[in-house]
Amino acid sequence: MEILIDFALLAFLGATALAVVRVRNLFAAVMLTGIYSFLSASLFTVMDAVDVAFTEAAVGAGFSTVLMLATLALVGSRVTEPQFRIIDVSVKVPPKRPVFPLFVVILTGAILVYGTLDMPAFGDPTNPIHQHVAPHYLEESGHEIGIPNVVTSVLASYRGYDTMGETTVVFTAAVGVMILLSAMRRRDRFGEEAWGDERVETLDIGFVDAFGSEMEGQGEGEDTGREGGAG
């Protein structure tokens, strides 16, 4: 029964991924990536990884969707058809068939699938991963740490140093975003008030428009849809 649920969720994942690629409206694509994250979270729940599922639902489905919507509010949600500015009818451009990229992708996928054949079976108790430190964590954390949730014990205590690194990585992400967006802002305003707190306060929110029915694409000239053809 459980394996049926696994396969059903996996099929949904595949269908959602295909839909993300095929759909022409970026707003719909962002929503589909949110659905993809929720499906992943369901899959993690079925596999008893509830902590990971929780994070995936909160970060993947919740927060990154909001950030993507904020980005859409900046760039517009329509993929515009390619517009050729140079009118030169004598040069006939043959339609580019993506044979080589397709070949590379299929080859890479085949190598990855071939690689998984050497991996130990899922859930096998004789797997190397279950022979190393995991038994110690499961058996000893109850009286060494005294916390029922072994995941928390491993995350915060046994592997506390790693978690500190992760926290620093998260912090670095914020620093990166601040530097990137502030640098653009500075270039706009010729060096006045790079961090722009006052600016931020006086601005109303931008991306709420993404929920409206109309999202006029500011990126009319961008030929984002060249690879996809006329879908």
Partner 1 sequence: MSDQVILRVATKLAVPAVLLFALYVQFHGDFGPGGGFQAGVILAAGMVLYAMVFGLRRAQEVFPTAVARFLAALGVLIYAGVGLVSVFLGGDFLDYAVLAQDPEHGQHLGILLVELGVMVTVQGVMLTIFYFYAARGREDL
Least distance from partner 1 to the Cβ atom of residue 195, Å: 9
For the chain, the DSSP string reads -HHHHHHHHHHHHHHHHHHHHH-SBHHHHHHHHHHHHHHHHHHHHHTT-HHHHHHIIIIIIIIHHHHHHHHHHHH-SB-PPP---S--TTS--PPPP-HHHHHHHHHHHHHHHHHHTTSPPTT-TTSGGGTTTHHHHHHHHHHHT--S-HHHIIIIIITHHHHHHHHHHHHHHHHHHHHHHHHHHHHHHTTS-SS-HHHHHHPPPSGGGGGSS----S-TT--TTTTT---
Of the two residues 104 and 147, which places its CB atom closer to partner 1 in the complex?
147
Binding of partner 1 by 157 (CB under 8 A): yes
- Tell me if 149 contacts partner 1 by CB under 8 A: yes
User: How many whole angstroms from its chain centre is CA 68?
Assistant: 10
Q: How far is the CB of 40 from partner 1 (least distance, A)?
A: 15
Among 3, 91, 111, 200, binds partner 1 (CB under 8 A): 200
Q: Applying CB under 8 A, which part among 5-13, 31-39, 104-112, 140-148 lies near partner 1?
A: 140-148
Select the span of 68-76, 91-99, 103-111, 117-125 touching partner 1 (CB under 8 A).
68-76
Among 14, 206, 228, 229, binds partner 1 (CB under 8 A): 206
When asked if residue 211 is in the footprint of partner 1 (CB under 8 A), the reply is: yes
Written as six digits, the tokens of 33 are 């990536």
Told to check if 33 binds partner 1 by CB under 8 A, we report no
Give the dihedral sign, CA 139/142/144/145.
positive
Q: In terms of CB distance, is 83 or 167 closer to partner 1?
A: 167
Between residues 118 and 201, which has the closer beta carbon with respect to partner 1? 201
Q: Pick the binder of partner 1 from 8, 20, 23, 151 (CB under 8 A).
A: 151
Residue 113 Cβ, how far from partner 1 at the closest point, in Å? 31
Exactly one of 25, 55, 83, 108 binds partner 1 (CB under 8 A); that residue is 55
CB atoms within 10 A of CB 185: 16
CA 208 – CA 48 distance, rounded (Å): 36
- Report the interface residues with partner 1, using CB under 8 A: 50-51, 53-55, 58-59, 62-63, 66-67, 70-71, 73-74, 143-149, 151-153, 155-157, 160-161, 163-164, 167-168, 170-171, 173-174, 177-178, 181-182, 184-185, 188, 196-197, 199-208, 211
